[in-house]
Structures are given as structure tokens and as C-alpha cells.
Structure 1
Amino acid sequence: MEYYQEIRQYVGHRPLILPGAVVIIQNEFNEILLQERKPGLFGLPGGLMDIGESLEETASREVLEETGLFISDLELCQIFSGSDYYFKIDNGDEFYSVTVVYRTKTYSGTLQAKAQETLSLGFFPIDNLPEQLLASNKKFLEKCLDI
């Protein structure tokens, strides 16, 4: 059971602050790796921090779990937080995300959808990203890549 799920047992649906990390992975053509999370809905690989992890460790672990890739040479892009990152999901859980966005062009391994939340993976040109890109992830890309 993940940390936030344990906390939910005590606080119910009340708002939590959830730290996490996503990674903008660019290939040699400067295309961006995106993960299809639900049919037609795309986002950057990443996820929530576990107890005892650094945010860099969170980023590396989540990318490996979701894509099969090992990453290195993480460059801190920006931290996103505040009221713009408040969410209430279908089950009634509320949270404020604090998301650290990293960039890298250094990765190895074989690209493969490894996690339950990954339907497909692919590199997309910056000027031809899927229309159904998570709104928060679109902001991350706009700020970090000046697009």
C-alpha cells in the first residue's frame, strides 16, 4: 500500500499535500516521451513520492516502473504547486499536488509499458503533441520548454 493510501485511512477524503515528480524525457530528435494513462489521455511519466525517497529517486523509480527506462542526468526544471494544482477526484479524495519537473536526454533500456496505469508509450514531436494531454502536463511543457 502506498503512503498516501495509508494516510487516507485516517483523514478520509480531506485535502492532502502530495509531493511527486515527472520527467520530460527527450530523444535525439527532441521528441517528448508521453505515456497514455487512459484511452486517449496522455501525460509525462512520473508519480508520487514514497516515504524516505528523494524527489530524484521518485522520478527515477516512477520512470522505470512506467516505461522500462533507466534515466540519469536529471536537470531540475521547475516546481509547480499552489491552488492551481488542487484536485478532487471521482471518489471524493481531495489533494494539492506539489510536482517537481525534471528534464533529461540521458536514458537507457527498452521502452515498454510496464505499469498498470500505462496503456502505451511514444515519443511525440513538440509541435505535434496529443490533444488530450493532461492540462497540468501541458503547463509543465510550456514552462520548461518555452513552447
Structure 2
Amino acid sequence: MTSSPLPVLVAAGVLVRRDDLLLLQRRGDDGTWGVPGGALEPGETLEQTARRELLEETGLTAGGLTLLDTYSGPEFRVRYPDGFEAYVVGATFETTEVTGTLVVDGEETLELGWFPVSSLPVTTSAYTRALLARVGISSPPVTSEGPGPVE
């Protein structure tokens, strides 16, 4: 920890499943793969944040959401590419019900892909690996590129 306290960010994300596949987003800020999600805006609930972020980052609208986990801890200290550091406290939701068409905006989202749970990309962020581990999904060791998304 630094000598001054880190800002605390509150966030929510959505684990979208289709059979044994997970939808992941390749982030525009650091190029890693992760679960769609982001920071809570004042006045939002965590579920509203998860729904808004999913729509903004993927073009998909979530149906029913199930709360999988609330998280905090040292593994959720993040440093963004611009040097900003924060401690994130958040919630991970899950859905199998989405409508809409996947949309890549080329800024916040560089790519979207469906990945088998057994072969997630090795370029998955440490933050996302920690989120997934908390809900029982282990990421591959960071040794090779591995397979790409499935259609």
C-alpha cells in the first residue's frame, strides 16, 4: 500500500454464459480480456450498473441476473494504464439470457468473443482471473496464447 489511501471504486460486472462458453471483452485501455463491467454511477444499484455496463460494452441487454459474488481484497487493487490506482469493491452477476447484437465500439471494447470455460485466453487480466476464481472458474496458466474465441 502507498502512504496515502487509495480511492475506492465500486463496480459491477456480468458473466454471460452460453452453454459452456463465456463472453469476454478485450478492453481498449490495456488490451486484456475481461468480464464486461465497470464503475457504479451515483444513484445506481449494483444490478443497474451491471446491466448498463453490459449494454455499453457489448450491445447486449441482460435478462434475469443472478448475484454470484461480492468481492474485495488485496487482489482487487488495480493500476490502470494511465497510472491511476484504486481499490475496487464490487459484485459479479451472471446471466444466460441476453438479447441484442454484439457491438464493438473500438474504444472501450476492442473485441468480443465467446470462449470455452476450459480455454480462456491467457491475456485475461489478473483482475478478471481473480473474479473468475472466486466463482469457481480457473484461468489457464499464463504461458501461451492458446485458442481464440469461438463463433
TM-score relative to the length of structure 2: 0.80
Partners in 1 of 2:58 and 2:66 — Cα distance? 19
Compared with structure 1, are the counterparts of its residues 33 and 83 closer, same or farther at alpha carbon in structure 2 (3 Å cutoff)? Answer: same
Q: Map Cα deviations across residues 80-101 of structure 1 (whole Å, 9 max, x no partner).
A: 1122222344544331101211
| Residue ranges of structure 1 left out of the alignment (5+ in a row) | 1-12
SS in 1 for 2:122: coil
TM-score relative to the length of structure 1: 0.82
- 5 Å matches for 1:10-25? 15-25=6-16
Equivalent residue number for residue 48 of structure 1: 39
Partners in 2 of 1:90 and 1:146 — Cα distance? 26
Equivalent residue number for residue 74 of structure 2: 83
Equivalent residue number for residue 117 of structure 1: 108
Equivalent residue number for residue 33 of structure 1: 23
Equivalent residue number for residue 9 of structure 1: none
SS in 1 for 2:109: coil
Letter in 1 for 2:95: T
- The percent of aligned pairs where both chains have the same amino acid is 37
Conserved 8 A contact 1:20-1:58: yes
Pairs aligned (count): 134
Q: Map Cα deviations across residues 21-61 of structure 1 (whole Å, 9 max, x no partner).
A: 1111001x220000011475100100000010000000000
Conserved 8 A contact 2:20-2:116: yes
Which segments of structure 1 move beyond 4 Å, counting only runs of 4 or more? none
| Residue ranges of structure 2 left out of the alignment (5+ in a row) | 139-151
